[in-house]
């Protein structure tokens, strides 16, 4: 196999949703009360909903910017590549990057709908979640069949509505959902509580996959407000290990042997030690802890139920024997700051070409197809989805990959030279959380 022969499915990308996303799925009062995008006095695009404001964050959508212009400042859609929020342009950006298909997490409600747990009228939010899922499944994913893996969010504060939404989106062809890795961060019972039993039952009866994405619950720790922000960014993927340890102890895994959980944007290099440690701890402590792992090892359960997803992890790919070649999938993370767009094949190939063709196929697309119950070849010939074929298509279409410069608000004062800290970033967030003012603006524009 050569680099251009790869078929690459990315199991973790993101959308900055367009302002008209609810137009075709709601009407009347429901449309009027849906989230709205408004411009603040500085020209920044901000979502407002039920007294909350959700500022767009540049590290959420810096694809195509020069590295020196990366930052955390709120931004407007016209500063971004069109592919961040326009589906036809997204497919062009996928083509030029050699990406055959993509699973996309949303932004407006966060990756797992966490912002909706803080709104005052959560009955209304249930209806807006369904409208969001309709837009995501029918308009975004439906615009290019075989190029996107649908991923729904759920009104998990209402279990009856959650189960109903699972059944509804499954009937629409969506087999993946994103929920918080730690619902206690949203004021809900823990994943070990009886509250979640109907969810686990429905997920397994409907043969659906659960995505738990970093940042959807457990926060990446900031050692201090004076700590350089690079420390936080460096450790961010490894925070998924806390979720993995918690979910590995789930009773439902013993009850449902086919249950599937994807650890989104968590990478893979940490997995060998994690599973080794889990087995060691179990061997020492299972006698007094009344552990569920008496005969089956935690590492065996981990391989049975968990998919590990990576962006750039040469170490992990040198150690797939300790992870499992059936438990690894690739992710591009477009348009976030970690994305290797438009050079994914050039970055991936040197780290993976020591493997057999069969292993490469599993890691680049076959595992994604199996874990997410997704088959792009129902809609496209395999030969048309290779890196080489997609890039030839992008070249014919003249896809422009030149950097888009749009320097906005910076974390440091002009002339200040020192490492940006966690405190600097927190201050930037606080400057853009005047929800009452922004909601008044939304009412004026409606």
pLDDT in tens, 1-12: 999 999 999 999
> 302 falls in which pLDDT band (50, 70, 90)?
very high
Report the pLDDT value the prediction gives residue 7, as an integer from 0 to 100: 98
Which pLDDT score, from 0 to 100, does residue 430 have?
66
Query: Of 203, 185, 202, 183, whose CA–CA distance to 193 is shortest?
Result: 183
As given in the structure block, the two tokens for residue 14 are 């993101």
428 phi, psi to nearest 5 deg: -65, -40
Percentage of the chain modeled with pLDDT above 90: 75
Output the pLDDT for position 340.
Answer: 96
Q: What is the pLDDT of residues 37-47, one digit of tens each?
A: 998 777 788 89
Query: Average pLDDT, stretch 412-419?
Result: 83
Question: Is residue 305's pLDDT more than 80?
Answer: yes
Residue ranges of alpha helices (H) inside 97-194 are 122-134, 159-171
Cβ atoms of 104 and 15 within 8 Å: the answer is: yes
Range with the poorest average pLDDT among 131-135, 182-186, 222-226 = 222-226
What mean pLDDT is reported for the chain?
Answer: 91
Domains of the chain (ranges; CATH) run: 3-445 (3.20.20.140)
Pairing of strands 45-49, 52-55: antiparallel
Whether pLDDT at 280 is above 60: yes
pLDDT higher than 90, residue 150? yes
Under the banding of pLDDT at 50, 70 and 90, the label for residue 59 is low
Residue 216, pLDDT above cutoff 90? no
**pLDDT tens digits along 283-299:** 999 999 999 999 999 99
Indicate yes or no: pTM above 0.75: yes
Is 72's pLDDT higher than 70?
no
Q: What is the mean pLDDT of residues 143-164?
A: 98
pLDDT over 70, % of the chain: 93
Question: Do residues 178 and 153 make contact, with C-beta atoms less than 8 angstroms apart?
Answer: yes
Mean pLDDT, to the nearest integer, of 90-115? 95
Q: Which two tokens stand for residue 237?
A: 């993927």
- Strands 45-49 and 36-39 turn out to be antiparallel
Q: H-helix or E-strand containing 299? A: helix 298-305
**β-pairing, 306-310 with 328-330?**
parallel
pLDDT confidence of 412, banded at 50, 70, 90? confident
52: enclosing H helix or E strand = strand 52-55
Between 368 and 67, whose confidence is greater?
A: 368
Tell me which of 235 and 98 has the higher pLDDT: 98
């Amino acid at each position: 196999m050569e680099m251009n022969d790869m078929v690459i499915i990315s199991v973790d990308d993101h959308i900055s949703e367009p302002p008209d996303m609810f137009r075709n799925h709601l009407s009347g009062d429901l449309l009027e009360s849906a989230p709205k995008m408004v411009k603040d006095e500085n020209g920044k695009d901000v979502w407002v909903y039920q007294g909350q404001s959700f500022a767009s964050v540049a590290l959420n959508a810096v694809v195509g910017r020069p590295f020196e212009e990366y930052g955390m400042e709120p931004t407007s859609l016209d500063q971004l590549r069109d592919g961040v929020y326009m589906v036809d342009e997204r497919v062009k950006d996928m083509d030029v990057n050699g990406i055959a298909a993509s699973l996309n997490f949303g932004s407006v409600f966060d990756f797992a709908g966490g912002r909706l747990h803080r709104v005052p009228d959560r009955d209304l939010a249930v209806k807006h979640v369904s409208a969001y899922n309709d837009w995501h499944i029918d308009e975004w994913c439906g615009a290019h069949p075989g190029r996107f893996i649908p991923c729904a969010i759920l009104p998990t504060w209402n279990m009856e509505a959650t189960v109903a939404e699972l059944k509804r989106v499954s009937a629409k062809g969506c087999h993946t959902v994103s929920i918080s890795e730690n619902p206690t961060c949203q004021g809900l019972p823990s994943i070990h509580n009886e509250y979640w039993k109907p969810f686990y039952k429905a997920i397994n009866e409907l043969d659906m996959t659960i995505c738990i994405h970093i940042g959807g619950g457990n926060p990446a720790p900031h050692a201090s407000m004076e700590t350089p922000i690079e420390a936080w960014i460096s450790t961010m993927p490894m925070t998924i290990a806390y979720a993995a340890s918690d979910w590995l102890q789930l009773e439902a895994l013993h009850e449902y042997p086919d249950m599937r959980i994807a650890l989104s944007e968590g990478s893979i290099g940490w997995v060998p030690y994690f599973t080794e440690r889990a087995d060691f701890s179990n061997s020492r402590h299972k006698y007094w802890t009344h552990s569920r792992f008496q005969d089956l090892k935690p590492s065996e359960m981990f391989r049975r139920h968990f998919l590990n997803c990576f962006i750039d992890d040469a170490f992990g790919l040198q150690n797939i024997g300790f992870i499992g070649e059936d438990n690894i999938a690739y992710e591009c993370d477009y348009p976030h700051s970690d994305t290797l767009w438009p050079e994914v094949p050039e970055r991936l190939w040197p780290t993976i070409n020591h493997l057999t063709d069969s292993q490469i196929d599993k890691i680049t697309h076959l595992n994604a197809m199996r874990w997410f119950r997704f088959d792009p070849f129902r809609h496209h010939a395999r030969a048309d989805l290779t890196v080489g074929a997609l890039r030839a298509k992008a070249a014919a279409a003249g896809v422009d990959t030149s950097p888009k410069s749009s320097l906005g608000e910076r974390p440091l004062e002009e002339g200040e030279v020192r490492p940006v800290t966690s405190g600097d970033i927190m201050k930037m967030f606080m400057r853009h959380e005047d929800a009452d003012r922004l909601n008044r603006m939304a009412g004026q524009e409606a």
